[in-house]
Amino acid sequence: MQNDRFNSKRLAIAGRFPFLRNTVGVNLADFDRLYANRHEEPSLAQCAQFLEQAPLDYEWQWRRARLKHFEAMQRAEAGDSKGAKALYIAASSHASQATKIDAARVEGPFWSSTCDMEVGRLGNSLALMGVLVRVQKELQRAARINEEYHYAGPLRSLGKLTHLKPLALGGMLDGAIAFYERALQIAPRNSTNNLYLADALIADRQPKRAREAIRAVLEDSDNTNWVWETQHDQKLAQQWLQTRFD
């Protein structure tokens, strides 16, 4: 019965997006609309299936990276750090290929650096230290190209990197908070921007401001392109309210 429901949803999606039946006449906008429903398993499966057959040009390589990054986040949330790491590595590879095709665009350096940072985090401390300088340079390059991309993704990731770095290597909470605040000027209702800010504020012993950021995470969101991420962030925010405040 469950498989029947799954297959019927896939058929319905294929009906809405006829280009998914083959690789002729690819419509990137339609694919991105399908990706926006990635929180629904049939849509995610269709995205993955189509990308297996899509061309190896810039537009599809960075979209492969984006999809692998999302799948890695799902694996990480499920507790499968090994599977998540493998997907982040694959995502970084696709993004690097995209950058080789067109180094002037933001997507390649953003996804490769973001994924490399996550690979480092999932390894030991030496692994993280080994990628920090390279990741920072790539994120800075992405921010110079387009800091507004992916809801201020380059700024958000620079904040995360600055938060993760040891003090001796330039890490500082004030710097991380400044990046998150800049990101929120661009995308003030993005749940991940607010969650990362809350994390840094808690570490910086600013509980009042941290609670305000968490309340922003928990607000209802009308962003249909960020459904899974919002649910993930809200779950963490609820946990933090119970465990990270006196």
Alpha-carbon gap, residue 158 to 140, rounded angstroms: 8
Q: What are phi and psi of 180, to 5 degrees?
A: -65, -40
CA terminus-to-terminus distance, the chain: 48
Its pTM stands at 0.87
What's residue 170's pLDDT? Answer: 62
What's residue 25's pLDDT? Answer: 47
pLDDT band, very low/low/confident/very high, at 231 (cuts 50, 70, 90):
very high
Alpha-carbon gap, residue 116 to 133, rounded angstroms: 11
Mean pLDDT of the chain: 89
Alpha-carbon gap, residue 208 to 225, rounded angstroms: 30
Lowest mean pLDDT among 5-19, 41-55, 163-177: 5-19
Q: Which of 198, 226, 225 lies closest to 212, judged by CA?
A: 198
Spatial neighbors of 39 by CB under 8 A, at least 6 apart, are 227, 228, 231
Residue 55 CB coordination number (10 Å): 10
Vertex 20 angle, CA 19 and 26, to 5° = 45
What's residue 168's pLDDT? Answer: 60
What's residue 5's pLDDT? Answer: 45
* Token pair of 101 as six digits: 């095709």
Alpha-carbon gap, residue 119 to 129, rounded angstroms: 11
What's residue 6's pLDDT? Answer: 38
Alpha-carbon gap, residue 78 to 57, rounded angstroms: 32
Instruction: Please determine, looking at this structure, whether the domain spanning 148-246 carries the CATH number 1.25.40.10.
Output: yes
pLDDT band, very low/low/confident/very high, at 239 (cuts 50, 70, 90):
very high
pLDDT: is 155 or 222 the higher one? 155
Q: Which of 234, 232, 239, 197 lies closest to 217, judged by CA?
A: 234
* pLDDT over 50 at 59, yes or no: yes
* Token pair of 185 as six digits: 């000027």
Alpha-carbon gap, residue 47 to 120, rounded angstroms: 27
* pLDDT over 70 at 7, yes or no: no
- The pLDDT tens digits for 111-167 are 999 999 999 989 877 777 878 889 999 999 999 999 999 999 999 999 999 998 876
Q: Is the dihedral of CA 6, 12, 16, 22 positive or negative?
A: positive
- The pLDDT tens digits for 77-123 are 999 999 999 999 999 999 999 999 999 999 999 999 999 999 998 98
